[in-house]
Amino acid sequence: MKKFNITVNGVSYEVEVEEIKDGAPVQARPAAPAPKPAAAPVAAPKPAAAPKPVAAPAAATGATTIEAPLPGNVWKVLVKEGQEVKEGDVLIILEAMKMENEIYAPANGTIAAVHVAEGASVNGGDVLVSLK
């Protein structure tokens, strides 16, 4: 067995790892000198305050709405109201399941409204952007 010190979110942990080869433990080697004790745990940093929800403006009449394809967090808003976009332009980057998902403009147009803010949590089907 090998001993390691691992730090996660500022907290130090001492772990033992056993090597296994072909389903059986590997023969232990002579004992090494005793490791130094792990540093005293450091208090984990406090999480940042969640962003305040933004009231979603009503979709403009006749506007195309772009919805979240799956639940996640808005990582980056790349457009603003009144901005011209072309079909295929990236509007928003949505983080879901530790992956960044780009949300594209389905057609040419002008951004009528941005319904979310960076850091906001969204559910699948929530309106992200209105395009006219």
CB 129 within 8 A of CB 78: no
**Domain region containing 98:** 64-131
Residue 31 included in any domain: yes
Mean pLDDT value across residues 96-104: 88
Residue 57 included in any domain: no
Residue 53 included in any domain: no
pLDDT, tens only, 44-92: 565 655 554 444 444 445 788 999 999 999 999 999 999 999 999 999 9
What's the total number of domains in the chain?
A: 2
pLDDT band at 96 (very low <50, low <70, confident <90, very high): confident
Residue 51 included in any domain: no
Q: What is the CATH number of the domain that holds 118?
A: 2.40.50.100
Higher pLDDT, 36 or 115: 115
Mean pLDDT value across residues 99-110: 90
Tell whether 71 and 105 lie within a shared domain: yes
Tell whether 71 and 118 lie within a shared domain: yes
Residue 16 included in any domain: yes
pLDDT band at 30 (very low <50, low <70, confident <90, very high): low
Identify the pLDDT of residue 55.
45
Tell whether 37 and 82 lie within a shared domain: no
Q: Give yes or no for residue 5 having a pLDDT over 90.
A: no
